[in-house]
Structure 1
Amino acid sequence: MVKWIIAAEIAFWVVIIAGLFARYVLKSKKISILLFLLTPLIDLALIMLTVVDLRNGATATIAHGISVIYIGVSIAYGKSMIDWADHKFQSWFLKKPSSKKILVGLEKGIYELKMLARHVFSYLIGSAIFWLIINYVGSNGTDAIIGVWKTWSVVLIIDGIISLSYLVFPKRTESK
């Protein structure tokens, strides 16, 4: 299962880089959009492989749980990951100056809350998929998946505390 997660992650970034190459080097926005639209199909393939593997009798492992997290994160953060890659591609390969503003104070707090909302969204998607898989394949031998879900729950709580701290203790100036 680990090899499928690694393959999906590699495929995701290859498609993103190919989409950026098509957009900026080949000057074809249509091809780049088509390539970017492949990313959800990669996610769908990974979740299908996870379900098939478990349905065929494999005992759930941490890798199965990570594949579910991967799907939730990819859906919730997909656009922002593509935006990040787009910005980096322009900066590194097209040598365009960075226009990214460093956030401080209330702006940083609001940004962190938005990121927390994405994390909650990815968690809800992942949780739904976890429980659908467990109900579909049966709960026998799915302790590892439940363990991954519990760990993710703790990570979400920690992320919430950290994100809220940016509002309670705002950073006043940019550190150098």
Structure 2
Amino acid sequence: MLVAVLVGCEIGFWLLLAGGLLARYVLRRQRLSAALLLSVPLVDVVLLAATVMDLRGGADATFVHGLSAGYLGFSVAFGHSMVRWADRRVAHRLGAGPPVPKPAPRGTRERLRYEWREFGKAAVAWAVACGLLALMMVLVGGAGAGSSDTAELGAWIVRLTVVLVVWFVGWPGWESVRMAVRRT
């Protein structure tokens, strides 16, 4: 059941986002648009409630429970910027908004700041997801973090940490090295 809720929440996110932007730029209904866009975080609340209810109902912690924590962390950290990203593009296409600026070229200070800012969001996503995973581990109980009941949740902490390290090395770390080499 949790897989269906997770998929439904992802679909719900995009439907609320598209509906909010459609209401803003096509229907010219600003209040409806605001209501739909402000409802986007409710998708996270639904997913969190479903995950906790599933675990409290006695379900074994599975890959999907960990995935839901990762999704929630990503949504909390990147949700606002994803809405802003979509809004700029739709405003340009449908609302005669200004053109979307191109990303700063690699090897520039602007690009370095951008990469560090995005990594900061990734770190927030990691912290939220790992906090939720730790909370789920407590909810599931068992003999502790090494328990078979919580092993899959612990594995998700490792997965998310690997993703964060790769993100650091591949983007802000690489851009920082590139900038340091350019200065010499």
1:44-93: CA deviation from partner (whole Å, max 9, x where unpaired): 11011011111112111111111111111111111110011112323455
Which residue identity does 2:24 align to in structure 1?
R
Give 2:25's aligned residue: 24
Shift of 1:127: 1.3
- Give the match's secondary structure for 1:101: coil
Q: Deviations over 1:90-112 (max 9, x none)?
A: 34555766331221211111100
- Residue 53 of structure 2: aligned partner: 52
After TM superposition, the structure 1 stretch with the greater mean CA deviation from structure 2, 59-68 or 95-104, is 95-104
Cα shift readout 1:100-158 (whole Å, capped 9, x = no counterpart): 12212111111000000001111111111111121122145121111112100111011
* Native 8 Å contact 1:51 1:137 kept in 2: no
Identical columns (%): 32
2:182 paired residue number: none
Match of residue 176 from structure 2: 167
Match of 2:154 in 1: 146
Is the counterpart of residue 155 in structure 1 residue 163 in structure 2? yes
Out of 89, 97, 113, which is 1:110 matched to?
113
Q: 1:165, 1:144 → 2: CA distance?
A: 32
Letter in 2 for 1:166: E
Q: Secondary structure at the match of 1:103?
A: coil
Partner Cα distance (1:151, 1:92) in 2: 38
Could you say which structure has the greater relative contact order, defined with CA pairs below 8 angstroms and 6 or more residues apart? Answer: 1
Q: Structure 1 stretch 83-92 or stretch 24-33: which is displaced more?
A: 83-92
* 2:136 equivalent to 1:136: no
TM-score, normalised to structure 1's length? 0.89
Could you tell me the TM-score, scaled by structure 2's length?
Answer: 0.85
Asked whether the 8 Å contact 1:106–1:167 carries over to 2, the reply is no
In structure 1, C-alpha distance between the alignment counterparts of 2:54 and 2:100, rounded to whole Å: 45
| Separation (CA, whole Å) in 1 of partners of 2:133 and 2:96 | 42
Query: How many residues matched?
Result: 170
Divergent runs of 4+, >6 A: none
Give the Cα separation in 2 of the matches to 1:91 and 1:122: 29
Unaligned stretches of 5+ in structure 1?
171-176
CA distance in 1, matches of 2:48, 2:100: 37
Aligned to 1:174: none
CA offset digits 1:19-44 (Å, max 9, x no partner): 00111112122221211111111101
